[in-house]
Chains A and B, each alone.
Chain A
Amino acid sequence: MTAPVLLDALGASGPYRTERRHQVTGVDGSALAELSQVPRLYVVRTVAALRRAEPLPADARERALRSAAELFLGEVEGVTPAEHERRVSLATGVALPVVRAASRQLVRSARLAAESVAAARPAGSVADWRDRPGTGAVWARRGEVLAVHAPGNHPATHTEWIEALALGYRIAVRPSNREPFTPHRLVAVLRQAGFGPDQVVLLPSGHDVADELVRTADLSLVYGGDQAAERYGARADVLVRGPGRSKVLLADGRPLDHLDVLVDSVTGHGGTACVNATAVFVDGDAAELAGRLAERLDGIPVLEALDERAVLPVHPSRRAADLEAYLHGKLGDARLVTESALTVELPSGAAALRPAVMLLRTPQAAQARIELPFPCVWVAPWSPQDGTGPLRDTLTLTAITEDEDLVTRLVAEPSIRNVHVGDHATHLMAPGLPHDGHLAEFLMRSKTVMRTGAASL
């Protein structure tokens, strides 16, 4: 047992320790850190300092990002990668092997950030006005300072905002009070790698101050549920990363052949991300599929998050019970296929929730939208006559079908953000490929630069 760590804010003039602090607690109830909570005035002054700062040149940014990636793999401010991953696993309940994989993803994303954003640049625009002799479109920032309300569910979510650094944004990250370790480590290595303290800051704060960050920054990236979407969704300066409601469609007539990709979609990547499948639609015997899926999921061992073989996420014991009660309250006419209680108390004091499979009567059932932070999947019958309606509002849809017209309609559907055709799990992602659109689509715009002596007008 290690003594709680003091985790400072990382401000524009260095680390900043406040009187007001938040206790970061592990899923087992252990105290992991005391996190400084910056006041409103500090946010305002820090964002002003970021806005005054000049970005590094593009090549220096790229070098610094690559260097930060390497530093992340070493000891950072006395914290080894193993200790860091242990803290993240305890704070989030995400299985240690999954956290370790997330570290590799973070490193890869930082290394490739410049290439990833280049992949998002419109073909007709150049990155720098000097790159083109004549008149044409140049890709430019829509603002200078990006605020990030970061999530705490999964460390790999931080891959996204790193890209904004490659574009020259100055970034203020408000970490989740639940898991501040990953963004803290990231900001620390970015600074060691050459981003000045006035380029990227970490501003942990209470909810009372959160709005201030959105108010003062030029653009904001906000992770949250339906509430955040309601609050900020209509604003042009805020990009909301809301619920995922990822889905799998089994429509090739052989649903039982795809249990592997289903299990992977439900539990892979920690089973607690927006890219985990929330619902499965079956053109065939949905009840049989649900039963077989529940059996397979039941075979996954229930272990402590720190176990080397762990797959499932764990929770504070009280929270696990609340989640299970909530699910029962929402069942309605759905049938819980998984047998016996979901909550399993663990020796550490944390609790796991066994994966839950629920069978719905119709594809239109409202329950299919309920996304909970553990492997929890709604199975519904679906037939071509039901069309794409039930498949809408989806971050990633894995579509297993040989019907090309259907795939065309799914790819065209505006509320489906990614389509994986065939046996590709919902959680698969790669640098350079859009996750919920390219972040750069929000951060950048093309502008015309007309130059004297231009080759063409």
Chain B
Amino acid sequence: MHWNWHEAPGLDEEEFFSNAMSWHFSPETGSRFWLDRLESLGFDPVRDVRTHADLALFPNLANDLRDVPVEDLVPRGYGESADVIGAYDSGGTTGSPKRVVLQRDWMRHSLAWKSARMDDLGFPRGADANWLTVAPSGPHIFGRLMAELPAMRGGVAFTVDLDPRWVRRCLAEGRAEEADRYAEHVVDQVETVLASQRIGVLVATPPLLERMAERESLVETINTKVSVIMWGGAHMDPDTRHLLRHEVFPDVALRGQYGSTTILGGSMERPAGPGAESSKACVFDSFSPYTTFSVVDPHTREEVAEGERGQVVMHHVSKAMLLPNNLERDTATRVTAPAGSLGVSVADVAPVASFENATVIEGVY
């Protein structure tokens, strides 16, 4: 694989980073965002960043994405040929959302990779594989990326829209009942589509799958019609995953993806090798070398050892964007990446623990 997206066997790590740093930090090709920050970095990326491990030199600048004009994010090297599909927001769970731009070349290449992983994972292709995607559109990159896939794989795209920000707002304001009603409204639409259409692939978030699981007839329809459920956009704990796979949707393959807006996409679940892993572990491999993971100790920021849990750091290094060292609000187990890949793979991703039930003193219970 080369810097300019050409597929090639093997990866020269040094060459990749040398090209990437030259692109993003040369006045002719770099983005205004990075050129403006070059002085304050305290190191010379072109000279000092030679390997994946060197990405740790960069500060986490993801917060700057909350207010930077998006034009500043496009590398100048694209010139007139820049083909920006649009600006997309992170979820905005903390403060105002971070904003990134999605370019067509990145979308094409990352989805080609994703589609190849879907072949590995047994996703259907062709006319039998219509898709029903329950995902946020609008400012959310997830819905935009998902919208491309059915056509790439030969099916018709059905969609049900959802607004996760409204749900979060309801919950933050203590209106859980309203969030419930909204979720039921979404599941009603899913049920309507599935009632009359041939759907081979169902894309949904774990909380919505759990809602669907509460409706007996819908569960039966999904088991009968759907061959793959692809989940993403939220965490799924190993126990819930086991229940969904073995008790709720035993006739459907359950496949996960894990990603972030700030790396412009996601990773895919690793296909289970023959007896290679315990049935409950869910491992995600990234689109190396362009998107990669590290797992660090939240206090020291040092990488944890193989098999240990820590906080997930995501990196994006491509022609379209450079954004290394994003500390995500997720924890995961560090797993060896596939041969030839950079960084690590992650297993059993979970939210960073919140401080629930902190020192209650009064009372006897």
Please tell me which one of the listed residues B247, B356, B363 contacts residue A371 in the complex, with CB atoms under 8 A apart: B363
Say whether B213 contacts A45, CB under 8 Å.
yes
Q: Does the CB pair A372–B361 fall under 8 Å? A: yes
Is B196 interfacial (CB-CB < 8 Å)?
Answer: no
The listed residue with most A CB atoms (<10 A of its CB), out of B240, B247, B248, is: B240
Cβ of B243 and Cβ of A326 under 8 Å apart? no
Interchain Cβ contacts under 8 Å between A and B, 18 examples: A18-B239, A19-B239, A20-B238, A37-B239, A38-B239, A39-B240, A40-B210, A41-B213, A42-B239, A44-B210, A44-B213, A45-B213, A45-B247, A153-B364, A154-B364, A207-B357, A208-B356, A276-B364
Q: Which residues of B contact A224 (CB under 8 A)?
A: 363, 365
Point out the residue from A206, A273, A322 that lies within 8 Å of B364, measured CB to CB: A273
Q: Are the CB atoms of A244 and B364 closer together than 8 Å?
A: yes
Minimum CB–CB distance for B164 against chain A, Å: 18
Q: Give B243's nearest chain A residue, CB to CB.
A: A41
Residues of B within 8 A of A372 (CB): 361-362, 364
Within 8 A of B (CB), among A216-242: 223-227, 241
The answer, yes or no, to whether B214 is at the interface (CB within 8 Å) is yes
Asked if residues B243 and A371 are in contact (CB atoms below 8 Å), the reply is no
The residue that B361 contacts in the complex, of A20, A45, A152, A322, with Cβ under 8 A, is A322
Mask, A133-171, CB within 8 Å of B = 1, is: 000000000000000000111100000000000000000
In the complex, the chain A residue whose C-beta lies closest to that of B240 is: A39
Q: Complex Cα distance A276/B364, Å?
A: 10
* B244 neighbours in A (Cβ, 8 Å): 41
Query: B362 touches which one: A42, A241, A272, A371 (CB < 8 A)?
Result: A371
Task: Report the separation of the CA atoms of residues A238 and B203 in the bound assembly, to the nearest whole angstrom.
Answer: 36
**Residue A373 is within 8 A (CB to CB) of chain B in the complex:** yes
Does A56 have its Cβ within 8 Å of any Cβ on chain B? no
B interface footprint on A111-153 (CB within 8 Å = 1, 0 otherwise): 0000000000000000000000000000000000000000111
- 0/1 interface trace, chain B 217-243, chain A, CB 8 Å (1 if under): 000000000000000000001111011
Query: In the complex, which residue of chain A has the Cβ closest to the Cβ of B180?
Result: A215
Q: Name A176's closest neighbour in chain B (CB-CB).
A: B365
Quick one: CB contact mask for A313-327 with B, threshold 8 Å, 1 for yes?
A: 000000000110010
Query: How many A residues touch B, CB cutoff 8 Å?
Result: 40
Would you call A152 and B362 a contact (CB within 8 A)?
no
Q: Across the interface, do A326 and B239 meet the contact criterion of CB distance under 8 Å?
A: no
Cβ-based interface call for A365 (8 A): no
Q: A39-B239, A39-B240, A42-B243 are in contact. Are A223 and B365 (CB under 8 A)?
A: yes
Check A326/B240 contact, CB under 8 A, given A19-B280, A44-B214.
no
What 1/0 mask marks residues of chain A from 241 to 277 whose CB sits below 8 Å from any chain B CB?
1011000000000000000000000000000111010
Is B360 an interface residue when CB atoms closer than 8 A count as contact?
Answer: yes
Closest CB in chain A relative to B333 CB, distance in Å: 12
Closest A residue to B210 using CB positions: A41
Q: Which B-chain residue is minimally distant from A313 (CB atoms)?
A: B364
Question: Smallest Cβ distance from A422 to chain B, in angstroms?
Answer: 25
CB distance from B299 to the nearest CB of A (A): 21
Whether A370 pairs with B239 at a CB distance below 8 angstroms is no
The reply to whether the CB of B359 lies closer than 8 angstroms to some CB of chain A is yes
Residues 152-209 of A at the B interface (beta carbon under 8 Å) = 152-154, 176, 206-208
Once A44-B214, A45-B213 are accepted as A-B contacts, the answer to whether A226 and B240 lie under 8 Å apart by CB is no
Q: Are A41 and B240 in contact (CB under 8 A)?
A: yes
Task: Say how far B173's CB is from chain A's closest CB, in angstroms.
Answer: 15
- Let me know if B363 and A19 touch, CB within 8 A: no
Using an 8 Å CB-CB cutoff, how does the interface string of B113-156 with A read, 1 for contact, 0 for none?
Answer: 00000000000000000000000000000000000000000000
CA separation between A278 and B357, bound complex, in Å?
24
**What chain B residues lie within 8 Å of A37 (beta carbons)?**
239
Q: Which residues of A contact B214 (CB under 8 A)?
A: 44, 48
* Complex alpha-carbon distance, A44 and B362, angstroms: 31
What are the interface flags for A31-65 relative to B under an 8 Å C-beta threshold, 1 for contact and 0 otherwise?
00000011111101100100000000000000000
Residues on A with C-beta less than 8 A from B242 are 19
Considering the chains assembled together, what is the distance between the CA atoms of A152 and B365 in angstroms?
Answer: 6
Chain A residues, Cβ within 8 Å of B237 = 19-20, 39
Q: Which residues of A contact B240 (CB under 8 A)?
A: 39-42
Q: Is B213 within 8 A of A373, CB to CB?
A: no
Q: Which residues of B contact A274 (CB under 8 A)?
A: 364-365
Interface residues of A in 289-341 (CB under 8 A from B): 322-323, 326
The minimal Cβ–Cβ distance linking B180 to chain A, given in whole angstroms, is 8
Closest chain B residue, CB of each to CB of A44: B214
A304 and B179 alpha carbons, distance in the complex (Å)? 49
Q: State whether A370 and B365 are in contact (beta carbons under 8 Å apart), knowing that A18-B239, A19-B238 are contacts in the complex.
A: no
Proximity string of chain B (26-57) to chain A, C-beta cutoff 8 Å, 1 when within and 0 when not:
00000000000000000000000000000000
Q: Please, how many angstroms separate the alpha-carbon atoms of A16 and B243 in the complex?
A: 11
A1-38 near B? 1/0 per residue, CB < 8 Å:
00000000000000000111000000000000000011
B176 / chain A contacts, CB cutoff of 8 Å: 211
Question: Which residues of chain A from 352 to 396 have a CB within 8 Å of any chain B CB?
Answer: 370-373
Point out the residues of chain B lying under 8 angstroms from A176, CB to CB: 365
Q: Which residues of A sit under 8 angstroms from B248, Cβ to Cβ?
A: 41, 45
CB distance from A188 to the nearest CB of B (A): 22
Q: Mark B328-365, 1 if CB is under 8 A from A, else 0.
A: 00000000000000000000000000001101111111
Give the residues in chain A near B361, CB-CB below 8 Å. Answer: 322-323, 326, 372
Cβ contact within 8 Å between B364 and A373? yes
Determine the distance from Cα of A267 to Cα of B340 in the docked complex, in whole angstroms. Answer: 68
Task: For residue B100, give the distance in angstroms from its CB to the closest CB of chain A.
Answer: 30
Contacts of B356 in A (CB 8 A): 206-208
- Residue from B239, B357, B360, B363 in contact with A20 in the complex, judged by beta carbons closer than 8 Å: B239
Contact with A along B234-273 (1 / 0, CB 8 A): 0001111011100110000000000000000000000000
CA distance A44 to B212 in the complex (A): 12
Give the most central of B176, B243, B365: most A CB within 10 Å: B365
For the A-B complex with A322-B359, A373-B363 known, give 20 more contacts whose Cβ atoms are closer than 8 Å. A20-B239, A39-B243, A42-B243, A44-B210, A45-B243, A45-B248, A153-B364, A153-B365, A206-B356, A224-B365, A225-B363, A226-B363, A241-B365, A274-B364, A322-B361, A323-B361, A326-B361, A370-B362, A371-B364, A373-B364
Contact: A151 with B362, CB < 8 Å? Answer: no
Distance between Cα atoms of A45 and B247 in the complex (Å)? 10
Most buried by A among B210, B356, B357: B210
Residues of A within 8 A of B213 (CB): 41, 44-45
What are the residues of chain A within 8 A of B363 when measuring CB–CB?
A: 224-226, 243, 371, 373
Give the distance in Å from the alpha carbon of A235 to the alpha carbon of B238 in the complex: 33
A272 → chain B closest CB, angstroms: 6
Residues of B within 8 A of A40 (CB): 210, 240
Q: With A and B bound together, what is the CA distance between A370 and B364 in angstroms? A: 10
Give A42's nearest chain B residue, CB to CB: B243
Q: How far is the CB of A173 from chain B (nearest CB, A)?
A: 15
Please measure, in the bound complex, the distance between the C-alpha atom of A211 and the C-alpha atom of B213, giving whole angstroms: 18
Taking CB atoms, residues of chain B closer than 8 Å to A272 are 364
Query: Considering the complex of A and B, which 8 residue pairs feature the smallest CB-CB distances, nearest first?
Result: A225-B363, A151-B365, A39-B240, A19-B238, A18-B239, A39-B239, A373-B364, A326-B361
